């Protein structure tokens, strides 16, 4: 079974994501060790909380460079929620620079009548890359679970893999290119569809390992 390193930097509940991955046939290793990240077949960067503490925790544990190295080596990578946002250059939420792997900025939802911030609860995805490996065997416009006040705004719109609409604002819900996939929602909280997404990621890892 492929080994997936789940990066532990004190920014979220990692165990629920691990359960979904293990159901799909992966061995997970929750770790803050650069050596474990280097040795793993794939890497998942989860996260819940604020942008600045997240990147501070990563850097204080010397994890920023190992994550970048894993991505640039071609390993399958999945960012979840805050783990998507910190791939970017910076955020309107804070002052710290992000990892800078993805050109672009993390922006705050604009207040408008009739919508709540944070955007919290079930909402539908609109696929902009229908052939993305994460979306296989999912229905059109699946419901997934969101909790966020900020969204990513990539400089290159072609890497958007799905969008979501909250009020009048349609924003990026997922990105994908090459070996990198990242989602704003929580697959581990998104019932059967979320488990399918995690299973699809594991299937992609298995394909990479076999190659």
Backbone angle region of 59, left / alpha / beta, with phi > 0 → left and psi within -120 to 50 → alpha:
alpha
By the 8 A CB rule, do 190 and 144 touch?
Answer: yes
Beta carbons within 8 Å of 108's beta carbon, 6+ residues apart: 92, 93, 117, 149, 150
SS3 138: coil
Identify which of 168, 164, 171, 172 has the alpha carbon closest to the alpha carbon of residue 144: 164
Active site residues: 81, 186, 188
**Token couple for 133:** 């490996």
**Antiparallel, parallel or unpaired: β 160-166 and 169-177:** antiparallel
CA 8 vs CA 34, 141, 210: distances in Å: 11, 31, 27
């Amino acid at each position: 079974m492929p080994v997936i390193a789940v990066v532990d930097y004190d920014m979220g509940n990692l165990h629920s994501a691990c359960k979904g991955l293990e159901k799909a046939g992966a061995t997970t290793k929750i770790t803050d060790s650069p050596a474990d990240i280097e040795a793993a077949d794939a890497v998942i960067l989860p996260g819940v909380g604020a942008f600045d503490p997240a990147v501070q925790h990563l850097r204080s544990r010397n994890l920023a460079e190992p994550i970048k190295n894993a991505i640039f080596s071609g390993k399958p990578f999945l960012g979840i929620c805050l783990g998507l946002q910190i791939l970017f250059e910076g955020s309107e939420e804070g002052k710290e620079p992000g990892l800078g792997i993805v050109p672009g900025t993390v922006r705050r939802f604009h207040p408008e009548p009739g919508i709540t911030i944070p955007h919290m609860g079930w909402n539908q995805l609109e696929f902009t890359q229908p052939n993305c490996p994460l979306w296989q065997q999912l229905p059109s416009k699946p419901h997934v679970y969101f909790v966020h006040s900020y969204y990513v705004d990539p400089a290159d719109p072609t890497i958007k893999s799905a969008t979501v609409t909250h009020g009048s604002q349609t924003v990026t819900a997922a990105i994908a290119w090459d070996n990198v996939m990242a989602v704003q929602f929580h697959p581990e909280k998104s019932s059967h569809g979320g488990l399918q997404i995690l299973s699809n990621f594991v299937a992609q890892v298995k394909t990479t390992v076999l190659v």
